Structure 1
Amino acid sequence: MLTELSIRNFAIIDSLSVSFEKGLTVLTGETGAGKSIIIDAVHLLVGGRGSAEFIRHGESKAEIEGLFQIDDDKHPVFAKAEEFGLDMNDGMAILRRDISLSGKSVCRVNGKLVTIAILREIGRTLIDIHGQHEHQELMDERLHLPLLDQFGGEKVASALAEYQKLFKRYETASKQLNSLSQNEQQMVHRLDLIQFQFDEIQKADLKLREDEELMEERKKINNFEKIHEALQTSYNALNGEQHAIDWLSVAMNNLEEAAGLDEGLKNSSETVSNSYFLLEEAVSTIRDQLDSLDYDTERVEFIESRLNEINQLKRKYGRNIEEIMEYGAGIEEEVEKLQNRETHIAKLEKEIKSIKADLIVEAKNLSELRQTFAQQLTKKIHQELKDLYMEKTIFEPHFLQTAYTFDELSDRGINQSGLDSMEFYISTNPGEPLKPLSKIASGGELSRIMLALKSIFSKHQGITSIIFDEVDTGVSGRVAQSIAEKIYKVATGSQVLCISHLPQVAAMADTHLFIAKNVRAGRTNTSVKPLIESEKIKEIGRMISGVEITDLTKQHANELIQLAKRLKITS
């Protein structure tokens, strides 16, 4: 849910910070006070189109920042964050967007700079904004089938997963077949090329980490004189008469004699004795290393030649020996396939035929499930529409003809969603034919249809927050009350922010924010104030009667609030 929104230098807003709670938050106020400006700011925060026109006059940039708290660790925002390499610790997402006078935006998610496209991808998992006149997600026919699948829950998800597993196998086998079925001349050229590459890699007879070992040996040989001089000097300093090991022998013998006379010197004697024997062993090792040192010109030439050969292979086939060997293993398999091309083509054709047969079974099962849940969805939507006094409206998930036979499957083509193509159709007047939902005229009618759909789908979409921007325009009376109840119902499963002019909706609010426009020092500013119950009664009274608020108006407003409380208890 959106818990905090901070806005600076945006339109008529100088500086504004608003806290939001769970449930239904209603924003009301006089026309032009800035209610829609706040929603515009949220829209920009989650990736909406922006421009320099939003910047407050006289300022250099507008700043919008929002804090989202996500309690569900399976929320889709976490998958999106992982996809884009974003840190989402403690279930918190801080989105920020700055818009400069040039019109350019700087976007951040949890402090990390992101593109506007990434901000939009993250934002659409967090907030769903619905306005009366804009095309909504539910109006996009491409999303209707996924919405039905979400409504179908685990049963459809499981069937779709099984289908998609097969579909991936089908795609892989089809790509391999297409590759092998290319022009004969192209295949011969390809075989010649990769055969040469494979032979070159095989001839090199590479060993893992060989280049690192050779470079270490080259370093040692190139510093032969320094190493020899250091070893000789060390040996001379340690060995011989009147040198380190000779004096250590004198100390050891004297301490052994003293320790025989004084028990307290025993530890010192043993320490010196151990040091003597360790040093004697080190001297022997240094002597052996000196004896083994040899500047081998032929070895130097071999190392340089071998490293040059390995570097040539790196430029062609990989950044390191491991990648070169992996590339060699890959083309070895391709060489074998091209050399036995006809056999592999026959094998793949047989495999694809088998996969297609299984795909038909899984696709049919998936389609039957979708048809079943489409009927359930239709009943639920009709009930929602009836509650909104649109009982004569007909809703139908419209499926295009589905093919199940092998030949039809080949002609029709396959995609990862199955064989179904579905779009929501609706008829709002008796005797009128069903039409695509996207073709319905906007207005109060469309608002109610959208609200009915949202009442069903909100709990299946995983959206953290839903914003309704004056979707109740053009309705009144019992329809207005029904809309208020539907909006509240949606708010029981998701945080809902709602701009409304309906007193019925305001009465249902868990939190009521009053938006006001003030003039200070000759500049207009917008303020937001949470209302206590007495203030809420007064504001709802204003919404009912307009300018003049009488005792009767207040009584009516209080009745609406008490009715809303009773409805909340029973809902």
Structure 2
Amino acid sequence: KEWAQHLDMLKFQVNEIETAQLQAGEENELVAERDRLDNFQKINDALQQTQVILTGEETSAGANDQIGSAMQLMQAIADFDPAFKQIASSLETAYYALSDAVGDVSSQLDLLEWDEGRLDEIERRLDVINQLKRKYGDSEEQVLSYYDKIAAELKQMQSTDETADDLEDRVASQESVLLKLAEKLSKARQEAAKRLEKAIHGELADLYMDKTVFAVHFTRSKTQSLMSTGLDHVEFYLRTNPGEAMRPLAKIASGGELSRIMLALKTIFSESQGITSIIFDEVDTGVSGRVAQAIAEKISGIAQASQVLCITHLPQVAAMADHHYFIAKQVVADRTETSLTRLDESSRVDELARMSAGTQVTKLALEHAHELLKLADEVKDSHHKTKN
């Protein structure tokens, strides 16, 4: 239907421009001719009066005859002084120029003709040109360029022998090819899902979720209809405790569980996709103790191959950083401002102690902060040795 409508539109447009027989530059010529006809009386009066002045039809001598007389007088004394000779030459030039002008004025008067019918014809033609410009371009050249384009498209559409049945056959053929590709893609996805499940279980075991079962669940519509992404609806399923049913991850995972699963996924994807920068925004939410330490070590491992930016409230994670920044907010002149400060070694110990103990920083908290930094250095050294 759309094809047929487009074909009809092209036929109409091509016919409209062809019928107009538009010529490049035609509008300027018509406007000039219209201006001459609109100002016929003014032009006629000017030419008549100019002819009278130049030829002297109403006086004893016209301007041209008087210039001619002056020229003859100066030519008679030209040999007596170079200045006289120059004046004679200038008058001669003026005389012949005026003679040409007299002839031109006379010719224009002979050609001058009032034709009211021609004026109406010009106005109608200019109206046609303006209608074409409103539809197809800002100038005659643009209209003609558009005509060349749509004429070629129309010729191509009219030259095809395809019928509706032919097009339906082509669509069916392409659908068959597409289904085969979609099946191939689905098979590749399912194979990748098995590898992902195995890799996720390994990562979760490191994060104290060894009892958790992760699975990639595939479903298809009953009609086997194709989507832009293929045949599959893919969803991650999770079982956090033995004996429970597998359910969608998004519906059952707690904040701490979701943090660790996201960390596991990013760890795997950073390795397989060659990601060079990763941002963890409080990925350690809902965890503490040994799980927090496991997350810290996991993030440190990722940082061996990628740049990691991590926002955290856990001292175990902060201690593992190569560069530690403190973010603070304060209200200045009724506006909240955020500041970012890089901590030196001493300030870093104080901040880790504060993160561990709260507002009251004790000697034990400071010792714990030193211990965290020492442990972090040992973990990073082990990562470097493993990498090398």
Structure 1 length normalisation: TM-score? 0.48
Structure 1 residue aligned with 2:289, among 449, 474, 477?
A: 477
Partners of 1:504 and 1:560 within 8 A in 2: yes
Matched-pair identity in %? 39
Rg bigger for which structure? 2
Whose strand fraction is larger, Structure 1's or Structure 2's? 1
What residue in structure 2 maps to residue 430 of structure 1? 242
Partners of 1:463 and 1:494 within 8 A in 2: yes
Q: For residue 210 of structure 2, what is the amino acid of its counterpart?
A: E
CA distance in 2, matches of 1:472, 1:214: 79
Structure 1 residue aligned with 2:38, among 213, 222, 233?
A: 222
After superposition, the Cα gap between the structure-2 partners of 1:477 and 1:306, relative to the gap in structure 1 and judged at 3 Å, is same
CA distance in 2, matches of 1:477, 1:293: 106
Structure 2 residue 116 is matched with structure 1 residue 297:
yes
Partners of 2:276 and 2:305 within 8 A in 1: no
What residue in structure 2 maps to residue 449 of structure 1? 261
Structure 2 residue aligned with 1:362, among 181, 198, 204?
A: 181
Structure 2 residue aligned with 1:515, among 328, 350, 373?
A: 328
CA distance in 1, matches of 2:359, 2:175: 70
What residue in structure 2 maps to residue 98 of structure 1? none
After superposition, the Cα gap between the structure-2 partners of 1:462 and 1:300, relative to the gap in structure 1 and judged at 3 Å, is farther
CA distance in 2, matches of 1:394, 1:285: 107
CA distance in 2, matches of 1:399, 1:565: 43
Instruction: List alignment gaps of at least 5 residues for structure 2.
Output: 55-62, 83-89
Q: CA deviation at 1:456?
A: 4.0
Structure 2 residue 198 is matched with structure 1 residue 383:
no
CA distance in 1, matches of 2:193, 2:346: 46
Partners of 2:219 and 2:233 within 8 A in 1: yes
CA distance in 2, matches of 1:462, 1:218: 71
CA distance in 1, matches of 2:44, 2:224: 78
Q: For residue 258 of structure 2, what is the amino acid of its counterpart?
A: L
- The correspondence of residues 105-124 of structure 1 with structure 2, limited to 5 A, is none
CA distance in 2, matches of 1:557, 1:241: 117
SS at match of 2:163: helix
Q: CA deviation at 1:351?
A: 1.5
Q: CA deviation at 1:240?
A: 3.9
Q: For residue 506 of structure 1, what is the amino acid of its counterpart?
A: A
CA distance in 2, matches of 1:300, 1:450: 81
Partners of 1:397 and 1:424 within 8 A in 2: yes
Cα deviation, 1:118-160, whole Å, max 9, x if unaligned, reads xxxxxxxxxxxxxxxxxxxxxxxxxxxxxxxxxxxxxxxxxxx
CA distance in 2, matches of 1:285, 1:432: 112
CA distance in 2, matches of 1:242, 1:382: 116
After superposition, the Cα gap between the structure-2 partners of 1:453 and 1:284, relative to the gap in structure 1 and judged at 3 Å, is farther
Q: CA deviation at 1:513?
A: 0.9
After superposition, the Cα gap between the structure-2 partners of 1:219 and 1:401, relative to the gap in structure 1 and judged at 3 Å, is same
SS at match of 1:391: coil
Partners of 2:14 and 2:151 within 8 A in 1: no
Q: What is the count of residue pairs matched by the alignment?
A: 354
What residue in structure 2 maps to residue 496 of structure 1? 309
Structure 2 residue 352 is matched with structure 1 residue 540:
yes
CA distance in 2, matches of 1:444, 1:376: 24
CA distance in 2, matches of 1:233, 1:384: 105
CA distance in 2, matches of 1:211, 1:485: 79
What residue in structure 2 maps to residue 352 of structure 1? 171
SS at match of 1:389: coil
CA distance in 1, matches of 2:177, 2:102: 75
Structure 2 residue aligned with 1:528, among 331, 339, 346?
A: 339
After superposition, the Cα gap between the structure-2 partners of 1:311 and 1:385, relative to the gap in structure 1 and judged at 3 Å, is same
Q: For residue 451 of structure 1, what is the amino acid of its counterpart?
A: L
- The correspondence of residues 31-430 of structure 1 with structure 2, limited to 5 A, is 197=12, 201=16, 204-207=19-22, 209=24, 210-211=26-27, 214-215=30-31, 217-219=33-35, 221-223=37-39, 240=64, 294-311=113-130, 318=136, 322=143, 325=147, 329=151, 344-401=163-220, 411-430=223-242
SS at match of 1:392: coil
Partners of 1:387 and 1:482 within 8 A in 2: yes
What residue in structure 2 maps to residue 440 of structure 1? 252
Q: CA deviation at 1:213?
A: 5.3
After superposition, the Cα gap between the structure-2 partners of 1:299 and 1:517, relative to the gap in structure 1 and judged at 3 Å, is closer
Q: CA deviation at 1:414?
A: 2.7
After superposition, the Cα gap between the structure-2 partners of 1:205 and 1:512, relative to the gap in structure 1 and judged at 3 Å, is same
Cα deviation, 1:384-415, whole Å, max 9, x if unaligned, reads 3233222332223222248xxxxx9xx43333
Q: CA deviation at 1:540?
A: 0.6
Q: CA deviation at 1:448?
A: 1.3
CA distance in 1, matches of 2:49, 2:320: 93
CA distance in 2, matches of 1:241, 1:464: 95
CA distance in 2, matches of 1:289, 1:397: 92
More contact order relative to length (CA 8 Å, sep ≥ 6): 1
Q: CA deviation at 1:541?
A: 0.9
After superposition, the Cα gap between the structure-2 partners of 1:428 and 1:221, relative to the gap in structure 1 and judged at 3 Å, is farther
After superposition, the Cα gap between the structure-2 partners of 1:349 and 1:215, relative to the gap in structure 1 and judged at 3 Å, is farther
CA distance in 2, matches of 1:462, 1:364: 29
CA distance in 1, matches of 2:335, 2:17: 78
CA distance in 2, matches of 1:453, 1:414: 28
CA distance in 2, matches of 1:477, 1:350: 65
Structure 1 residue aligned with 2:375, among 540, 563, 568?
A: 563
Q: CA deviation at 1:360?
A: 2.5
Structure 2 length normalisation: TM-score? 0.66
Cα deviation, 1:454-481, whole Å, max 9, x if unaligned, reads 334568698987461x442332222102
Q: CA deviation at 1:348?
A: 0.7
SS at match of 1:430: coil
Partners of 1:454 and 1:490 within 8 A in 2: no
After superposition, the Cα gap between the structure-2 partners of 1:399 and 1:222, relative to the gap in structure 1 and judged at 3 Å, is farther
After superposition, the Cα gap between the structure-2 partners of 1:348 and 1:336, relative to the gap in structure 1 and judged at 3 Å, is same
